[in-house]
């Protein structure tokens, strides 16, 4: 019975460690996305913001903001890969 208990405790500890790492990665990703969102909001004109908000409220995809978003996403992966490469080594 003690063997089963110790095995279960070991399995639970392993799962907790995996979940902690996933939470850490998600927090980092959320922070990156918040920074990107803030940057895009600062760079967007009031007309673009109004158009985007109207599209979000209507439920249609933001077609006119996709090129701008694509440009931002192209610049984002190097920053993400740099933080991800430093994340696991920390």
State what percent of residues in the chain have pLDDT above 70: 67
Find out whether 40 and 69 touch, Cβ atoms under 8 Å: yes
Q: What is the pLDDT confidence band of residue 89, given thresholds at 50, 70 and 90?
A: very low
The model's pTM is 0.53
Average pLDDT over residues 58-66: 64
Give the model's pLDDT for residue 60: 77
Asked whether residue 25 carries a pLDDT value surpassing 90, the answer given is yes
Dihedral angle of Cα 66, 70, 73, 77, to the nearest 10 degrees: 150
Phi then psi dihedrals of residue 60, to 5 deg: -90, 150
Comparison of pLDDT for 55 and 72, the residue scoring more: 55
């Amino acid at each position: 019975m003690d063997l089963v208990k110790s095995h279960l405790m070991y399995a639970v500890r392993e799962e907790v460690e995996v979940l902690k790492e996933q939470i850490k990665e998600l927090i980092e990703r959320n922070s990156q996305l918040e920074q990107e969102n803030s940057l895009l909001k600062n760079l967007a004109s009031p007309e673009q913001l109004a158009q985007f908000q109207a599209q979000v409220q209507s439920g249609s995809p933001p077609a006119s903001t996709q090129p701008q978003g694509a440009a931002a996403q192209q610049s984002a992966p190097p920053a993400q890969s740099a933080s991800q490469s430093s994340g696991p080594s920390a």
